[in-house]
Structure 1
Amino acid sequence: MPSLFRRKRLMIVLVGFIVLVALIGFSIRDRDSLSTPEKFLHDSVGWMQTIFHKPVSLVDNTIENIQDMFGVYEQNEVLKARLSEYKGVIQENQSLRSEIEDLQETLDKSDSLSDYSPVQATVIARSSDRWFEQMTINKGEEHGVEKDMAVMTSDGLIGKIKSVGAFHSTVQLLSGFDRSNKISAWVVREDQDEAFGLIEGYDDETGRLLLEEIKLDEELKPGDTVISSGLGGVFPSNLRIGTVEEVVNDQFGLTQTAYVEPFADLFDINHVMVVDRTVETVDPEDEQEDEAS
């Protein structure tokens, strides 16, 4: 009996081997069409490939779309920056033209309120308990820095010098301004004269500057640009401050207050420019002597 089972097992192995060889030979020969089992196997493999290919293709297309979106976003940011610079140049030219005409007519002076020389500086410290109010820079009296000088980045005004040491200075940020810190400003409007106002504080809840003392008959719109006027005697004119986002009447209904979004990021600052105003002040006595002569 054991020998019979061995023979049967051997016969089964031989028959299986012969069938396998026959199938291999049948499958590799040149034929115009596949057999039914081959078609079934081929279709089964194709379906499995399709099932796996669709999610892989979907993920791949999604990644490509996301990369394209990031590329478009970066291009838009570059275009927005260039457009902002272009608008800034137009507004600056408009303001400068008006300023020059007024100065020539009333004072007959060639000095411009916008003349200044920048002192480049680097932020070296920000106190953790006063992070949103002030910071320390690596320039001081030895570099020509003085108290109350304007401080700005390439984007716009960020504050003023609060205190000065020999080689370091403390900057009071716009986010730490209150009513004791004022900046004379113009609101530049399209096809209209500039509207005057005073930056007199910062709204912690909205993160916007408060431009106050605006006349009720002045019509301001969201998007109007706010720049320094130079009339305060400390800051030069045409320093970019921000854009108007909202305008409301004050509590007494006598003037308007505009909420201004700063151009500069007040919380991520590494390099700044201290603005040293170079225009000379006019002594009233000298001016009277000039007029008398």
Structure 2
Amino acid sequence: MPQFFMNKRLIILLVGIIILVALIGFSLRDREQISWPEQFIKDTAGFVQNIFAKPANLVAGFVENVQDLKNTYEENKILKSRMDEYAKIKVEVNRLQKENEELQALLDKEKDLSAYTPIHASVISRNPERWNETIIINKGEVHGVETNMAVITAEGMIGKIKSVGKITSHVQLLSAADRTNRIHATIQGSEDVYGLIDGYDDETKYLLLKEIPSDKKIEADQDVITSGFGGVFPKGLYLGKVEKVEADQYGLTQTAYIKPAANFYNIENVIVVVRDMEQPENEADKVDGS
């Protein structure tokens, strides 16, 4: 009896294997239509997949939307911070632009004060009796020369136009003994100091720079130029160097002795300086050449 059951199990196993192989072979054939069992299994599997796919897609979409929302929130924070930075940068740009405009205006003013057009001329005469006061040049009104224009050489300023003819002009030298022969000047240094060239010392042959505040420290060898603030001469015409400084008798101001840069005695060629910036109409505003 046990032998029969063992043979029966073996027979069932073999039959099952044969059926399985047959089904596998049947399913592997090229067919235009599938069998109803296969169709049933596929439909059942598709139905089950469809039931589970929709919730899964909803969950996946929800998670994705949450992630997008989180990303949007982070991006919004970054954009807000950048907007704050942009606002700060805009304020800084506006400040720098305003500052740049102010500095440019100052630079243009500086250029205006120092800008001039040269008129080249030659010395044609000099009065022996007034050798230290006047020379005559070969340029006059027809060449654009006017009274009180500065006259310079390659070394520095020598004087101003005193009178003008049609084709000649008289130049009054800085060494002339004339109380109206005044020039607003600047002593260059770490801090510019201003004063008036007012007079000439015949003994030392130095120009006298007066009305310097007593609290200003002046040292020898500092350069002296025209300031441009006198209303007539342009800024930057070289006058000479400081030799020494003395306080006045009351101690309120100082007087600097300036060694002229130009040679007043050997003059052949000069330049008449035509200031580009308009001169003040009010004569009371003038200092240079007053």
How would you bin the TM-score normalised by the shorter chain? 0.5 to 0.7
| 2:17 matched residue in structure 1 | none
| 1:171 matched residue in structure 2 | 171
| 1:161 matched residue in structure 2 | 161
Q: SS where residue 129 of structure 1 aligns? A: helix
Return the match for 1:246 from 244, 247, 250.
244
Q: How much does 1:253 deviate?
A: 1.8
Return the match for 1:200 from 151, 175, 198.
198
Closer, same or farther: CA 108–228 of 1 in aligned 2, 3 Å: closer
Closer, same or farther: CA 218–109 of 1 in aligned 2, 3 Å: closer
Closer, same or farther: CA 282–136 of 1 in aligned 2, 3 Å: closer
Aligned length: 183
Q: SS where residue 176 of structure 1 aligns? A: coil
Closer, same or farther: CA 177–232 of 1 in aligned 2, 3 Å: farther
Q: SS where residue 232 of structure 1 aligns? A: coil
Q: SS where residue 175 of structure 1 aligns? A: coil
Matched to 1:253, the amino acid is G
1:224 aligns with 2:222: yes
Within 5 A, what are the aligned runs for 1:261-280?
Answer: 261-280=259-278
| 1:148 matched residue in structure 2 | 148
Q: SS where residue 113 of structure 2 aligns? A: coil
C-alpha distance in 2, partners of 1:248/1:171?
30
C-alpha distance in 2, partners of 1:101/1:132?
47
TM-score (norm 1): 0.59
Q: SS where residue 113 of structure 1 aligns? A: helix
What do residues 185-210 of structure 1 show as CA deviations (whole Å, max 9, x unaligned)?
00011xx1110010001000110000
Q: CA RMSD in A?
A: 2.4
| 2:47 matched residue in structure 1 | none
Identical amino acids, percent of aligned pairs: 52
TM-score (norm 2): 0.59
Closer, same or farther: CA 269–109 of 1 in aligned 2, 3 Å: closer
C-alpha distance in 2, partners of 1:123/1:163?
15
Closer, same or farther: CA 197–153 of 1 in aligned 2, 3 Å: same
Matched to 1:245, the amino acid is E
Q: How much does 1:251 deviate?
A: 2.6
What do residues 72-102 of structure 1 show as CA deviations (whole Å, max 9, x unaligned)?
xxxxxxxxxxxxxxxxxxxxxxxxxxxx998
C-alpha distance in 1, partners of 2:101/2:250?
36
Closer, same or farther: CA 207–101 of 1 in aligned 2, 3 Å: farther
User: In the alignment, is the contact (CA less than 8 A) between 1:124 and 1:137 conserved in 2?
Assistant: yes
C-alpha distance in 2, partners of 1:181/1:172?
8
Q: How much does 1:142 deviate?
A: 0.4
What do residues 201-229 of structure 1 show as CA deviations (whole Å, max 9, x unaligned)?
10001100000000001111110000000
Q: How much does 1:181 deviate?
A: 1.6
Q: How much does 1:111 deviate?
A: 5.3
Matched to 1:218, the amino acid is K
C-alpha distance in 2, partners of 1:214/1:262?
18
Closer, same or farther: CA 107–243 of 1 in aligned 2, 3 Å: closer
C-alpha distance in 1, partners of 2:244/2:101?
31
Closer, same or farther: CA 209–140 of 1 in aligned 2, 3 Å: same
Within 5 A, what are the aligned runs for 1:1-80?
Answer: none
Closer, same or farther: CA 217–234 of 1 in aligned 2, 3 Å: same
Which structure would you say has the larger Rg? 2
Closer, same or farther: CA 139–256 of 1 in aligned 2, 3 Å: same
Q: SS where residue 178 of structure 2 aligns? A: coil
Closer, same or farther: CA 145–282 of 1 in aligned 2, 3 Å: closer
| 1:9 matched residue in structure 2 | none
| 2:130 matched residue in structure 1 | 130
Which consecutive residues of structure 1, in runs of 5 or more, have no partner in the other structure? 1-99, 285-293
C-alpha distance in 2, partners of 1:136/1:108?
35
Which consecutive residues of structure 2, in runs of 5 or more, have no partner in the other structure? 1-99, 283-290
